[in-house]
Amino acid sequence: MDGQAPGSPQGPWGPGGQAPPPEQGLPGCYRHPDRETGISCTRCERPICPECMVDASVGFHCPDCARGPSGGARLAPPAWQPRTLAGGVVSADPRLVTKILIGINLVFFLVQFAVGDRFTERFELIGQAYVPGLGSVEGIAEGQWYRLLTAMFLHGSVMHIAFNMLSLWWLGGPLETALGRARYLALYFCSGLAGSALSYLIAEPNQPSLGASGAIFGLFGATAALVRRLNADMRPVVVLLAINLVFTFSPGFNIAWQAHIGGLVAGVLIGYAMLHAPRERRAAVQYGACALVLVAVVVLTLVRTAQLT
């Protein structure tokens, strides 16, 4: 008859008759404990999340090991530098570019206030129209392509610039931190130019428009991509975006909705490309998306110019 050998009791759970230890989840990143990860530093073996991973010749290093004396000697620059979620270089002041953009917008607004309408009429976005203050036919169709860019830094009132700059501060800071300075700048300008191009294409040629709203809506789109990338709650972003879109299409506010939609679409596309690009060809995908948006801007501008001339 089969039986248990003396001194080796067998139970329903295995040797010793004891249940195995319960399953445990993945450890949390040593810098972000709320983020579970299965990756660890090949040098100190601490768990690290994707945001903290630094490429090494073998595996990944944590930021602390990568910055260390031996880490700097063994890793080829600039791979040893800590990287943002999108692969950018981590900077000491993650909001520096956002502060500079706000400063530029404020300087332009002060110049508008000091010089008067003549300055605004010279640099606002207008397709093609006779401008009495300048005494000539002005517009992008007349070869003034710079208006696609300069209009992004002009505002029509204190309320207009205050709302846009608050939005830039709230949205820009987290995005600059996640993307890095170069990618953040590319997102901002590509979104703003996309908004200007769509406004030029669809709006009446004699209808002037101005403001940073196209770029701001691009930041909205990229913020949605960032929240998605972090698997965070999308509802606050959706609600805030919906409120802004209601104002955009409300007839009483006289808003250039074309710039908002153009910037939003560009921001979603670029933001998704930057935050979901595969690591092995990340830069090519990220800046390739920016290049495609710029190509679309040029094509839309050429088409509209041909229509008007």
Q: Which residues are catalytic?
A: 213, 260
d(CA 125, CA 56): 48
Torsion of Cα atoms, 197 then 198 then 200 then 205, to 10°:
180
In one-letter notation, the amino acid at residue 122 is R
Are 199 and 262 in contact by the 8 Å Cβ rule? The answer is yes
DSSP code at position 280? G
Task: Note the Cα 289 to chain centre separation in Å.
Answer: 12
Q: Which of 62, 79, 87, 48 is nearest to 278 (CA)?
A: 87
Two tokens at 154?
Answer: 């002009």
Task: Note the Cα 86 to chain centre separation in Å.
Answer: 10
d(CA 57, CA 55): 7
Are 204 and 227 in contact by the 8 Å Cβ rule? The answer is no
DSSP codes, 31-88: S-TTSB-S-B-TTT--B--TTT-EE-SSSEE-HHHHHSHHHHHHS-TTTTS-B-TTSP
Residues 6+ apart with CB under 8 A from 31: 48, 49, 52, 62, 63
Residues 6+ apart with CB under 8 A from 16: 9
